Structure 1
């Protein structure tokens, strides 16, 4: 690995251990075995490096959302109620191993004022998250998913993910299950008049 990759890996470890607010450039250098000048050369700033590391951590956690227990990927038809439940079950299954990442996400949300530059960079990355979630639930390849699907369904799934994350971090035992979420969707949809 070169300095760029070493810095990224070191920044990931620092974020998971210390979070955004407490991680210093010196922490990253110590963890990565590089030097302070490398951060500016490869990433421009410590904040830019931390944002890239955070996005990589979230993407890594998101990659496991489609994996069914025991390996393989989601097997139900994209856009179906069965796919909705299957994917949420997969998402919830990953929460214990990704707890540190979700805690870090909450830090970014709750410390946004102190992390103004970081927050601005992450706002730009949110579109990619919406696109990935919309593709996962609809079964449409992410590279061709229409913008209107990302901006409607992607936002819907992102909102559900954030709510489930908060519930699960607060109390995993009482957090909404995939089955409860799916039944709630069925009931809400069933109450809507046709047309």
Structure 2
């Protein structure tokens, strides 16, 4: 592993251990076993290195999310059971990647100061939006357009909200089963309202 790769890996570990605003150049250099000058040589600045490390970490997390979502359903599962199984796996990803999520939230507080990284994260968010729509509802961004965008945005909001709840209060954050129960209740209310409107 060269110095550049060692610095990037070390910066990711420091992000998990210390968080975005508390990681220093000395922390990263010491973790990587290289000189402070190596940061400037390979990345120009500590901020640039941290931003690259965060994007890399979020990509790692995104890949794991994609694997969790793409896992084929068990034979005979209905839609609600598939929803529960999928969100149980996603909650597990959040738990196992807690430090990545914390670092991501810390970065969001700084995002207005680093527009180039904001643009990269926005592009990644758009990909994730359509990816969730495709994997969870077989919606294609070209074929299904606005519907794919809307459904993907809904799932993205749910992921972010569930993540926040698990970070703040993991004892009372919702499980996959509880999310499925909530969806069933919401669906029942919507169906009842539609039926009542149709009768009226």
Q: TM-score normalized by structure 2?
A: 0.74
Structure 1: distance between partners of 2:161 and 2:64: 19
Other-structure match for 2:2:
2
Q: Distance in 1 between matches of 2:144 and 2:37?
A: 41
Q: Distance in 2 between matches of 1:140 and 1:41?
A: 45
The answer to whether the aligner puts 1:165 opposite 2:160 as a matched pair is no
Tell me how far 1:41 sits from its aligned partner: 4.6
- In the alignment, the residues of structure 2 paired with residue 9 and residue 38 of structure 1 have an alpha-carbon distance, to the nearest angstrom, of 14
Quick one: which of 117, 130, 137 aligns to 2:114? 117
Tell me what 1:174 maps to. 172
**Structure (1 or 2) with the larger CA radius of gyration:** 2
Q: CA deviation at 1:165?
A: 1.2
Ranges in structure 2 where 5+ consecutive residues have no aligned partner: none
CA distance in 2, matches of 1:103, 1:38: 27
How far does residue 146 in structure 1 lie from its aligned partner after superposition? Answer: 6.2
- How far apart in 2 are the matches of 1:36 and 1:53? 17
Are 1:26 and 1:36, in contact at CA under 8 Å, matched by a contact in 2? yes
The root-mean-square deviation of aligned C-alpha atoms, in Å, is 3.4
* Residues 140 and 148 in structure 2, CA contact (< 8 A), matched pair in contact too: no
Helix, strand or coil at the partner of 1:96? helix
Per-residue CA shift, 1:31-86, capped at 9, x if unaligned?
Answer: 22334454345445433322232232233234334349xxx933259x94333222
CA distance in 2, matches of 1:63, 1:172: 23
Distance in 2 between the 1:145 and 1:106 partners? 33
Shift of 1:116: 1.8
Distance 1:49-1:125 versus aligned 2 partners, 3 A rule:
farther
Higher helix proportion, which one? Answer: 2
Deviations, residues 127-162 of structure 1 (Å, cap 9, x unaligned):
2332443344235699x8866455322221111111
In structure 1, the gaps of 5 or more residues are: none
Displacement of 1:88 after TM fit? Answer: 0.5
Matching of residue 26 in structure 1 with residue 40 in structure 2: no
Partners in 1 of 2:139 and 2:31 — Cα distance? 39
Alignment-derived partner of residue 92 in structure 1: 91
Kindly tell me: are residues 126 and 5 of structure 1, through their superposed partners in 2, closer, same or farther at Cα, counting changes over 3 Å? same
